[in-house]
Amino acid sequence: MTIRSTTKKNWLLLLTLVGFTSLLATRYFAKDRIPEPKILERHQANQASFASVARRVDAVFEARWQKAGISPTRPADTHTVVRRLSLGLMGTVPSLEELRRLEKLPPELQLPWWIARLLEDRRTSDYLAERFARGFVGVGSGPFVVYRRHRFTEWLSDQFQQNRPYDQIVREMLTAEGLWTDTPQTNYVSAHALLDGQNETNAVALAGKTSRALLAMRLDCLECHDDFLGNIKLGSVSDPKGGEQIDFHRLAAFFGQTKITLAGVQDRPDAAPYRYKLLEDDDARVVEPDVPYDRHRLPTVGAPRTRLAQWVTHRDNRPFARAALNRLWATMFGRPLIEPIDDIPLLGPHPEELEILVNDFIAHDYDLQRAIRIIAATRVFQLSSAAEDSITDEHERLLAVFPLTRLRPEQVARSLIQATSLETIDARANILRRLELFGSENDFIERYGDFGEDEFVTRGETVTQRLLMMNGDLVRRRIDENLFAPNRIAMVSPSAEKTAEALYLVCFTRYPTVEEQQHVAERLNRSKNERRTTIQDYFWALLNSAEFGWSH
Amino acid sequence: MSIYIPNTPECHHPVHLDRRTMLRLAGLSGLSWLTPLATGLARAAERQRQRQAKSLILLWLEGAPSQLETFDPHPGSEIAYGSKARTTSVPGVLIGEGFEQLAEQMHHIALLRAITSEEGDHARATYYIKTGFRPQPTIVHPAIGAVICHQFQAADSNSVDIPRHVSILPGEHPGRGGYLGDNFDAFKIGDPVARVPDLLPTVPTTRQQQRLQDLAFVNGEFLRKRQRPSQAANPVGTATLDAALRMMTSAQIDAFDVSKVPASDRLKYGDTPFGRGCLAAFRLIQAGVRCVEITLGGWDTHVDNHNLQAQRIQILDPAFSSLIADLRAHDLLDSTIVLCGGEFGRTPWLNPLGGRDHWPYGFSLALAGGGIVGGRVIGETNPAPKKDNKDRLADLKNPHPLPDIHATIFHLLGIDFTEELITPIGRPMPIAEGKPIRALFE
Under 8 Å between Cβ of A251 and A207 = yes
- Contact B207/A195, CB-based, under 8 Å? no
In a domain, B166, yes or no: yes
Give the span between the Cα atoms of B127 and B176, in whole angstroms.
Answer: 10
A282: DSSP letter: S
Give the residues across from B4 on adjacent strands.
Answer: B377
Which of B220, B254, B288 lies at the terminal end of a domain, its last residue? B254
Across A393-414, average pLDDT:
92
Please report the pLDDT score of residue B43 as a whole number.
Answer: 57
pLDDT digits (tens, 9 = 90+) for B84-113: 999 999 999 999 999 999 999 999 999 999
In a domain, B165, yes or no: yes
Q: In terms of residue numbers, what domain contains B209?
A: 201-254
Instruction: Name the pLDDT band for B21 (thresholds 50, 70, 90).
Output: very low
- Contact A141/B123, CB-based, under 8 Å? yes
Please report the pLDDT score of residue A12 as a whole number.
Answer: 75
Under 8 Å between Cβ of B279 and B258 = yes
Nearest CA in chain B to A450: B182
Alpha-carbon dihedral sign for residues B300, B304, B309, B311: negative
The closest of A376, A400, A374 to A52, measured between CA atoms, is A374
In terms of pLDDT, which residue wins out, A190 or A352? A352
- Contact B222/A546, CB-based, under 8 Å? yes
**pLDDT tops 70 at residue A197:** no
- Contact B137/A533, CB-based, under 8 Å? no
For residues B365 and B353, state if they share a domain: yes
**pLDDT tops 70 at residue B24:** no
**pLDDT tops 80 at residue A525:** yes
pLDDT digits (tens, 9 = 90+) for A214-260: 999 989 888 888 987 778 889 887 888 999 999 999 999 999 999 98
For residues B191 and B226, state if they share a domain: no
Residue by residue, DSSP assigns B60-103 as EETT---TTTTTS--TTSGGGTT--EEE-SSTT-EEETT-HHHH
**pTM greater than the 0.90 cutoff:** no
Amino acid of residue B115: I
Under 8 Å between Cβ of B123 and B109 = no
In a domain, B391, yes or no: yes
Least confident of A410-414, A489-493, B214-218, B384-388: B384-388
In three-state secondary structure terms, B296 is strand
In terms of pLDDT, which residue wins out, B6 or A205? A205
- Contact A343/B138, CB-based, under 8 Å? yes
Phi, psi of B69 (to 5 degrees): -105, -5
Among A339, A390, A549, select the one facing B425 at the smallest CB separation. A339
| CB-count burial class (<10 Å; 0-12, 13-18, 19+) for A67 | exposed
Least confident of B58-72, B89-103, B186-200, B331-345: B186-200
**pLDDT tops 50 at residue B268:** yes
In a domain, B95, yes or no: yes
For residues B133 and B174, state if they share a domain: yes
In a domain, B31, yes or no: no
For residues B267 and B250, state if they share a domain: no
Please report the pLDDT score of residue A139 as a whole number.
Answer: 73
* CA-based nearest distance B225→chain A, Å: 5
Phi, psi of B125 (to 5 degrees): -70, -35
Across B343-358, average pLDDT:
94
Amino acid of residue A257: Q
Q: What percent of chain A has pLDDT over 90?
A: 65
CATH number for the domain including B434? 3.40.720.10
**pLDDT tops 80 at residue B9:** no
Give the span between the Cα atoms of B294 and B276, in whole angstroms.
Answer: 10
Across B373-396, average pLDDT:
87
Which of B234, B254, B274 lies at the terminal end of a domain, its last residue? B254
In a domain, B20, yes or no: no
For residues B328 and B389, state if they share a domain: yes
- Contact B236/A546, CB-based, under 8 Å? yes
Across A83-98, average pLDDT:
96
Give the residues across from B337 on adjacent strands.
Answer: B56
Across A143-154, average pLDDT:
83
Which of B212, B231, B254 lies at the terminal end of a domain, its last residue? B254
Beta strands A240-242 and A233-235, pairing class: antiparallel
Could you tell me where the beta strands, DSSP code E, fall in B329-409?
336-341, 345-346, 358-359, 361-368, 377-378, 400-401
**pLDDT tops 80 at residue B189:** yes
pLDDT digits (tens, 9 = 90+) for B297-330: 999 999 999 999 999 999 999 999 999 999 999 9
- Contact B138/A339, CB-based, under 8 Å? no
For residues B114 and B159, state if they share a domain: yes
Chain Cα centroid distance, residue B422: 24
In a domain, B292, yes or no: yes
The closest of A220, A225, A274, A228 to A246, measured between CA atoms, is A225
Within 8 A of B218 by CB-CB distance, chain A residues are 541-542, 545, 547
Within 8 A of B200 by CB-CB distance, chain A residues are 471
Give the span between the Cα atoms of B429 and A425, in whole angstroms.
Answer: 45
List the Cα angle A154/A159/A160 in 5-degree steps: 95
Provide the domain count of chain B: 2
Chain Cα centroid distance, residue B299: 18
Give the span between the Cα atoms of B431 and B144, in whole angstroms.
Answer: 9
pLDDT digits (tens, 9 = 90+) for A289-315: 999 999 999 999 999 999 999 999 999
For residues B343 and B366, state if they share a domain: yes
For residues B299 and B187, state if they share a domain: yes
For residues B423 and B396, state if they share a domain: yes
A276's enclosing H/E stretch is: strand A275-276
Give the span between the Cα atoms of A470 and B120, in whole angstroms.
Answer: 41
For residues B90 and B232, state if they share a domain: no
In three-state secondary structure terms, B301 is coil
For residues B99 and B240, state if they share a domain: no
- Contact A393/B241, CB-based, under 8 Å? no
Under 8 Å between Cβ of B178 and B146 = yes
Alpha-carbon dihedral sign for residues B188, B194, B195, B197: negative
Nearest CA in chain A to B207: A537
How many Cβ atoms from other residues are within 10 Å of residue A496's Cβ?
17
**pLDDT tops 80 at residue B115:** yes
Give the span between the Cα atoms of B27 and B35, in whole angstroms.
Answer: 13
**pLDDT tops 80 at residue A36:** yes
In a domain, B376, yes or no: yes
A265: DSSP letter: E
* CA-based nearest distance A542→chain B, Å: 7
Give the span between the Cα atoms of B116 and B405, in whole angstroms.
Answer: 11
* Interface with B, mutate which of A136, A211, A474, A545 (most B CBs under 10 A): A545
For residues B130 and B118, state if they share a domain: yes
- Angle, helices A107-120/A96-103, rounded to nearest 10 degrees: 140
